[in-house]
Amino acid sequence: MGFLSRKSKSVPTVVEEEHPIVEELQEMEEVVPETPRPAGPVMDEGSSSSQAAGKDPSSMPPAGGAVSDTTSSTADRDEATDVPAVGEGVEIDELDEPERMMARDLIAPSRHEAVAEEPEAETPTKHAEVIAFANQKGGVAKTTTTLNLAVAFAESGHRVLCIDLDPQGNLTMSQGIDPDKVEKSLYDVLVNDMPISEIIQKREIDIAVASIDLAGAEIAMSTKIGRERSLEKALKEVAGDYDFVCIDTPPSLGLLTINALTAASKVIVPVQCEYLSMRGLVQLQNTLKMIQENLNPDVRIEGILPTMLDSRTVHAKEAVEILEENFGELVFKSRIKKAIKFAEAPVKGASVLKYDPQSNAANYYRDLAEEVLANESA
């Protein structure tokens, strides 16, 4: 037997069948060939896959096509959506675009920023010029000067208030008011804090009346805090109603006079042209200095007024010369000479300017008013 031929067993051929998804992918590649990747920032896989999954394959660019430029793509997009391009004679308002923000909207303050409003210019309030007539020596024409100078101011068109701070009430009596019959007086203002407007009576000028009760005001105010400023606080109520406030003080340097000097901005010192009257100026200056240091740094002597001058006597002339040598420019040029009219006018309840307007006595105080007003405007 020849060689026995060994027949090789036929190995069954395994036919690998393609998965159906492969055919689909091949079909997609034929329809949508791979396009070159445009230059630009590389997108992550998540974003590219999400975009690929959300797009229809038929919307892809044709095979072999290059990425069109911005102008062509914009034109194609305009044609596809039938929206005219801006700049082709179509107004911007016709497009469905959001309203453009103005510059003022972009710089508007946030709700955390308060809008600063410009403060309104405040109109300066005019306050009355407060003048105290002081001299611890009695009988030097303080009351006469206070009333008649105040009336002379009123004749010049100014609004004037007189304050009778003397317990004797001579200024109140000089305007025809009985101090023993007034129901409310400066005592109630200083001690009980009554508004000063409630005790003001209108005569030739407005007057805040006094009564004999003022004699006990210093004792009643002894335990009061800020007692030296009681009159100053009371005057704030009417400070804008008057141009001048004239204060008649008692013949002493007690608490009532200190209240007057604390409230005043100026002091006029009537001085009788006699030796004993002038000696009181030194003590008044010392008191005024203490008030400037502790209570009212702005108060100053406006002037020293020679009163009751009898030009016929040598002594009166020498007294004026002594005043001018020691106080210089502080001595007023005006002189108040003796006149019987000053004694007669209070009997009629009037100032000498009303009692006898054409008299020399009235002209003395008109001249003084002009000098004070001239110093005021200087």
Q: What is the pLDDT of residues 318-376, one digit of tens each?
A: 989 989 998 899 999 999 999 999 999 999 999 999 999 999 999 999 999 999 999 88
Residue 175 has, within 13 A of its CA and on its CB side, a CA count of: 26
Question: How crowded is residue 144: how many other Cβ atoms within 10 Å of its Cβ?
Answer: 26
Tokens 């005219």 correspond to 84
Q: Is residue 187 part of a domain?
A: yes
For residue 270, give the CATH number of its domain.
Answer: 3.40.50.300
Triad 190, 227, 297: Cα angle to 5°: 115
Query: What is the model's pLDDT at position 65?
Result: 45
- Asked if residue 36 is part of any domain, the answer here is no
| CA dist 373 → 4, 123, 285, 331, 376 (Å) | 161, 24, 24, 15, 5
Whether 93 is covered by a domain: the verdict is no
What gap in Å lies between CA 85 and CA 74, rounded to an integer? 8
Q: Quote the DSSP letter at residue 175.
A: T
Residue pointed to by tokens 């992550």:
44
Q: What is the pLDDT of residue 22?
A: 63
- Quickly list DSSP for 305-339: EEESB-TTSHHHHHHHHHHHHHHGGGB-S---B--
What domain range is 216 assigned to?
129-377
- Residue 83, pLDDT > 60, answer no
In a domain, 237, yes or no: yes
pLDDT of 66: 44
Name the percent of the chain in helix, strand, coil, to the closest 5: 45, 10, 45
Residues 236-270 have pLDDT tens digits of 999 899 999 999 999 988 999 999 999 999 999 99
**Contact between 209 and 199 (Cβ < 8 Å):** yes
Q: Is residue 111 part of a domain?
A: no
Angle formed by the axes of helices 360-377 and 142-155, nearest 10°: 70
Residue 320 lies in a domain: yes
Q: What's residue 12's pLDDT?
A: 53
Q: 162-187: buried (b, 16+ CB within 10 Å) or exposed (e) per residue?
A: bbbbbbbbbbbbbbebebeebeebbb
Query: What's the total number of domains in the chain?
Result: 1
pTM for the whole thing? 0.67
Residue 220 lies in a domain: yes
11 vs 316 pLDDT, higher one: 316
Q: Is residue 321 part of a domain?
A: yes
